[in-house]
Amino acid sequence: MIFDSHAHYDDEAFEKDYNLLIPDLPRKGIGHICDVGASLESSKRALFLAETYEHVYAAVGIHPEHVRQLEEREENLEAIRSLSRSPKVRAIGEIGLDYHYEENPEPSLQEKWFRAQLRLAREEKLPVIIHSRDAAQDTFRILEEEKAQEIGGVLHCYSYSSEMAKAFLKFDFYFGFGGVVTFKNAKKAKQAVEQIPLERIVLETDCPYMAPEPHRGERNSSAFLPYIVKGIAQIKGVSEEEVIRVTEENAFRLFGLA
C-alpha cells in the first residue's frame, strides 16, 4: 500500500473532517501516514493523531519559520525531546532552513536551531525530516558538518537540481516527492526524480498543500497520492505497482518500521 511520508492533518484545514478522512484512507490504498509537526503545538497535535489512529505515525520538530519559539523559550526544545520519546514518533521534523520569505527569522537563528534539532535527533536516535527552501548550499554545509549520514533522514519536498541531488546522496538520505512531479512546468523536479534511484525516493503529499494535477489548487490529501505514483512511474519508466512497493519499503526503513 502507499505510504504518505509527509502530511499535515494537524492543520486547521482538516479540523472539521479529519476524523472522517483519516480512518477512510486505508480503503483508498493508503496504508500508513506520517503526520509532521512544524511548531510545538502542531507537533503535539501530530502526536495526538498518531496515538488516535493505528496507521498514523508522527514527527515532531520546529520548522525554520517558527524557530523564535525556541529562541524565546529554550525549554521548548526539551518539550520536543519529551514528545519524541513516544513510540509513535518516528522522526524529528520538519526542521531546516527557509530563506524564501523576508519575514522569516534571520539565517543565523535558523541555523542555530537547525543544528540543535539535528543533535537532538542524534541523541534520541531518530531520523530527521529536512525542510530546505532557497538554502541548498547552507543546508548541505550544515548536514556535512553535523555528519548527517550518521543520523539519517529525508529531504522533504525536494526542489533543487539533479546536480544538487547527486551531492545530497552522499548522506544516504531519502528524497520526498509530491504533487509537483505532476505539474507540466516542473522540469527541475522531474529531472531530479529521473536522477535519484527509486530506492532513495519516498512519496508525500505535504497536505493540505501542493495538490497534484488534476486537483491543483484544491485541498490536498493522501487520497491524491495515486496521481503522484503515476507521475513517478512515467518518469522512471516502471510500473505503478513497483513505485508503490519500493517507496513503501523505503518509508518503512526511513522511519525504523522495517
What are the tens digits of pLDDT across the range 72-109?
A: 998 999 999 999 999 999 999 999 999 999 999 999 99
**Is the model's pLDDT at 199 over the cut of 90?**
yes
Place of cell 548550499: 137
Place of cell 505532476: 182
Mean pLDDT of 204-210: 98
What pLDDT score does 258 carry? 83
The arrangement of strands across the sheet holding 30-36 comes to 2-7, 30-36, 56-60, 89-98, 128-133, 153-155, 174-177, 201-203
Q: Are 139 and 97 in contact (CB under 8 A)?
A: yes
206's torsion region: left (phi>0), alpha (psi -120 to 50) or beta?
Answer: left
Q: How far apart are CA 47 and CA 252, in angstroms?
A: 18
How large a percentage of the chain has pLDDT more than 90? Answer: 99
Q: Are 175 and 196 in contact (CB under 8 A)?
A: yes
Domain that includes residue 202, residue range: 2-254
The domain that contains 187 carries what CATH number?
3.20.20.140
What total of structural domains would you count in the chain? 1
What are the tens digits of pLDDT across the range 27-60?
A: 999 999 999 999 999 999 999 999 999 999 999 9
